[in-house]
């Protein structure tokens, strides 16, 4: 859907925000700088494409890039930016899809990052901006600002419990992001329900038929 120009024709705002079901905005938006054409949470890799780009002969490759505990001063981000919690400039997305969106083998995440690096209209994203915007899968957490301005926690999170960099780091994030632990429990319950649906509505255990509603009743409350 996000790689369809028809979808984006219906978005009539200058910017669009993506919030997946496992994301959370942690605090009020204060002086959000919307100069970036696309920004999301930092991932510990970047993606390169070899061969003839935007053809069936293109090969996708991953390059591992370490994510530091704190951003560096005036350093442009080189990492893949996950779109689970992200903001994108709608006019820029139109340009991106018009130029590169015909390549059906590329997903939304990869397309946005490819355009971020290759479209002339793209705006550079600094490490400090990406760190302050989102924690994605726990690869970045609360951090010290590169200018010595103190401690900063991200505006939002995308399933940061998947990779806890450290217990104290995750605890700090939980303390500064109201509702994070509740979201985690809801997401865990959702995953259990999905696993049940993937099997069957009921199953036989030791000659006894267990119905789906009996399984649901055993799940913890959100």
- Rg of the chain, C-alpha, whole Å: 20
- pLDDT of 201 strictly over 80: no
- pLDDT of 155 strictly over 80: yes
- The model's pLDDT over 20-75, given as tens digits with 9 standing for 90+, comes to 999 999 988 766 667 889 999 999 999 887 766 566 667 788 899 999 999 999 99
The pTM assigned to this predicted structure is 0.82
Report the SS3 class of residue 59: strand
At 211, list the tokens. 């119905």
What is the average pLDDT across 82-111?
89
- pLDDT of 159 strictly over 60: yes
Question: Over pLDDT 70: what percentage of the chain?
Answer: 80
Residue bearing the bigger pLDDT, 199 or 5:
5
Please state, in angstroms and as integers, the Cα–Cα distance from residue 56 to each residue in 50, 60, 61, 91, following that order: 11, 11, 14, 27
Mean pLDDT of all residues in the chain? 84
pLDDT range class, residue 164, cuts 50, 70, 90: low
pLDDT at 59: 78
- Transcribe 83-148 into DSSP letters: EEEEEEEHHHHHHHHHHHTT-TTS-HHHHHHHHHHH-TTPPP-BHHHHHHHEEETTSS-SEE-TTS
* Cβ–Cβ < 8 Å for 64, 45: yes
- pLDDT of 214 strictly over 80: no
pLDDT at 211: 53
- The model's pLDDT over 103-125, given as tens digits with 9 standing for 90+, comes to 767 889 999 999 999 999 999 99
pLDDT at 137: 93
pLDDT range class, residue 194, cuts 50, 70, 90: confident
Cα separation, 203 vs 216, in Å, equals: 14
pLDDT range class, residue 205, cuts 50, 70, 90: very low
pLDDT range class, residue 203, cuts 50, 70, 90: very low
Q: List Cβ neighbours of 171 (8 Å cut-off, separation of 6 or more).
A: none
Choose among 135, 216, 219, 217: nearest CA to 180: 135
Cα separation, 133 vs 157, in Å, equals: 8
- pLDDT of 212 strictly over 80: no
Sequence ranges of the domains in the chain = 5-178, 184-217
């Amino acid at each position: 859907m996000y790689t369809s120009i028809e979808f984006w024709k219906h978005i009539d705002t200058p910017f669009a925000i993506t919030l997946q079901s496992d994301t959370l905005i942690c605090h009020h938006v204060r002086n959000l700088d919307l100069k970036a054409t696309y920004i999301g949470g930092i991932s510990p890799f970047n993606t390169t494409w070899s061969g003839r780009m935007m053809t069936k002969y293109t090969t996708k490759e991953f390059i591992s890039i370490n994510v530091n505990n704190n951003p560096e001063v005036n350093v442009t981000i080189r990492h893949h930016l996950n779109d689970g919690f992200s903001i994108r400039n709608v006019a820029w997305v139109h340009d991106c899809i018009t130029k590169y969106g015909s390549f059906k083998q590329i997903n939304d995440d990869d397309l946005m990052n490819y355009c971020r690096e290759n479209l002339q209209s793209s705006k550079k994203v600094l490490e400090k901006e990406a760190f302050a915007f989102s924690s994605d899968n726990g690869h970045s957490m609360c951090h010290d600002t590169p200018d010595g301005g103190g401690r900063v926690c991200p505006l939002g999170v995308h399933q940061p419990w998947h990779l806890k960099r450290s217990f104290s780091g995750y605890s700090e994030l939980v303390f500064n992001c109201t509702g994070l632990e509740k979201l985690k429990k809801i997401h865990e319950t959702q995953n259990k329900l999905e696993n049940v649906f993937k099997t069957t509505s009921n199953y036989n255990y030791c000659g006894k038929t267990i119905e789906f509603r009996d399984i649901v009743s055993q799940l913890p409350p959100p």
